[in-house]
Amino acid sequence: MSKKSPKKNKQQRRTMLAFMRIFRYGISNFSRNVWLTVAATAVMAVTLLIVMITLVSRNVLLETVSDISKSVDMSIYLRGDAAEEDILEVKDRVESLSNVESVRYISAAQAREDQAQQNKDDPAILEAIREASNRMSATLRVSLTDINDTASLDEFTQKDGLYQQIKDPSKSPSFQGERRAAISSIGEWVKLAEVGGGTMTAVFVIISSLVVFNTIRMAIFNRKDEIHMMKLIGAGKEFIRGPFLVEAVMYGVIAAVVATAAGFGLVMAARQPLAQYGLPIENTLASMAESVGLILVGMILLGSLIGVVSSYIATRKHLRV
Other beta carbons within 10 Å of 49: 21
Of 85, 92, 90, 104, nearest to 160 by C-alpha is: 90
DSSP 3-state assignment of 79?
Answer: strand
pLDDT (mean) for 236-248: 74
Q: Is the per-residue pLDDT at 1 higher than 50?
A: no
Residue 104 carries which side chain, given as an amino acid letter? R
Residue 176 Cα distances to 75, 99, 153, 183, 320, angstroms: 10, 17, 12, 11, 66
Instruction: Please name every residue paired with 105 in a beta bridge, in sequence order, or none if there are none.
Output: 140
Burial class (CB in 10 A: 0-12, 13-18, 19+), 305: middle
DSSP 3-state assignment of 291?
Answer: coil
Domain of 141, CATH number, reads: 3.30.70
Most confident of 64-68, 82-86, 197-201: 82-86
Q: Is the per-residue pLDDT at 258 higher than 90?
A: yes
Instruction: Tell me: do 58 and 92 sit in the same domain.
Output: no
Instruction: Tell me: do 198 and 272 sit in the same domain.
Output: yes
pLDDT (mean) for 13-29: 65
pLDDT (mean) for 301-320: 77
Q: Would you place residue 42 in the very low, low, confident or very high pLDDT band (cuts 50, 70, 90)?
A: confident
The pLDDT of residue 40 is: 78
pLDDT (mean) for 42-49: 85
Give the end of a domain, one of 142, 167, 192. Answer: 167
Other beta carbons within 10 Å of 153: 20
Of 156, 177, 151, nearest to 99 by C-alpha is: 151
The pLDDT of residue 226 is: 66
80-130 pLDDT, tens digit per residue, is: 788 888 989 999 998 898 888 888 888 877 766 766 565 556 565 555 555
The pLDDT of residue 261 is: 93
Instruction: Tell me: do 149 and 237 sit in the same domain.
Output: no
pLDDT (mean) for 179-201: 68
Other beta carbons within 10 Å of 203: 12
Percent of the chain surpassing pLDDT 90: 5
Residues 45, 103: contact at Cβ < 8 Å?
no
Q: How many domains does the chain have?
A: 2
CA atoms within 13 A on the CB side of 235: 20
Q: Is the per-residue pLDDT at 6 higher than 80?
A: no
Give every strand in the sheet of 137-144, ordered side by side.
74-79, 137-144, 100-106
Give the separation between CA 121 and CA 135, rounded to whole angstroms: 22
Percent of the chain surpassing pLDDT 70: 65
Instruction: Tell me: do 124 and 38 sit in the same domain.
Output: no
Q: Is the per-residue pLDDT at 257 higher than 90?
A: yes
Residue 238 Cα distances to 80, 207, 244, angstroms: 83, 26, 10
Q: Which domain holds residue 107?
A: 81-167
- 162 lies in some domain: yes
Give the separation between CA 80 and CA 88, rounded to whole angstroms: 13
The pLDDT of residue 123 is: 60
Give the separation between CA 103 and CA 72, rounded to whole angstroms: 12
Instruction: Tell me: do 203 and 282 sit in the same domain.
Output: yes
Residue 36 carries which side chain, given as an amino acid letter? L
Mean pLDDT, the chain, integer: 76
pLDDT (mean) for 60-65: 74
Q: Comparing 140 with 204, which gets the higher pLDDT?
A: 140
Backbone phi and psi for residue 31, each to the nearest 5 degrees, phi listed first = -95, 0
DSSP 3-state assignment of 140?
Answer: strand
- 7 lies in some domain: no
The pLDDT of residue 2 is: 47
- 237 lies in some domain: yes
Q: Which segments of the chain does DSSP mark as H helices, in order? A: 4-32, 34-71, 84-95, 108-118, 123-131, 151-159, 161-166, 178-222, 224-232, 237-276, 282-290, 292-318
- 151 lies in some domain: yes
Give the separation between CA 107 and CA 260, rounded to whole angstroms: 54
261-304 pLDDT, tens digit per residue, is: 998 998 888 888 877 777 778 888 888 888 888 999 999 998 88
DSSP state of 135: G
Give the end of a domain, one of 110, 141, 167. Answer: 167
Instruction: Tell me: do 192 and 49 sit in the same domain.
Output: yes
